[in-house]
Amino acid sequence: MNSYKAFVIFAFCCVAVQLTWVEAKHFCLKLGLRLLSIETAEENTALLEYIGENYPNYRFWTSGSNLYHPTGKFYWDSTGEMLGFTNWFINQPDNQGGSEYCLEMPSTANHMWNDIECTFSMDFICEAYACP
């Protein structure tokens, strides 16, 4: 399925409203989209280019989470796949305070990944999947 993935970012989703991770997930679903998953280095590069040009100072939810996963490892909630490519910031994920279960792209450190509390409100990116 990944090979058919259409890398489409809907800017209107990104910075119009700040939501918790669960809210952001459902916001995307209501639009027929899914909260962002990042499968490859190429996708990550394109994404960072887009963010850098348009929203350099924003932080974004991805669909990454380890909520409820039996292994406790991070997966992409939108696809059910475990993380393959990763772009964690140094010493992350650290599960600070024992309550960081969702994967954000922070506004700093070139948006390298951090785990953070899912109840935090921030911007987010929805993406579309093309039919095979």
Q: Which two tokens stand for residue 77?
A: 């909630």
CB of 84 to Ca ion, least distance (A): 20
- Does 65 contact Ca ion by CB under 5 A? no
Binding mask 90-119 for Ca ion (x = CB under 5 A): ----x-x---x-------------xx----
Q: What HEC string does 29-50 produce?
A: HHCCCEECCCCCHHHHHHHHHH
Q: Name the residue nearer to Ca ion (CB basis): 11 or 72.
A: 72
How many residues interact with Ca ion (rule CB under 5 A)?
A: 5
CB of 113 to Ca ion, least distance (A): 9
CB of 88 to Ca ion, least distance (A): 9
Phi-psi region of 111 (alpha: psi -120 to 50; beta: other; left: phi over 0): left
Helix (H) or strand (E) holding 104: strand 102-105
Phi, psi of 61 (to 5 degrees): -75, 145
- For Ca ion, the binding residues (CB under 5 A) are 94, 96, 100, 114-115
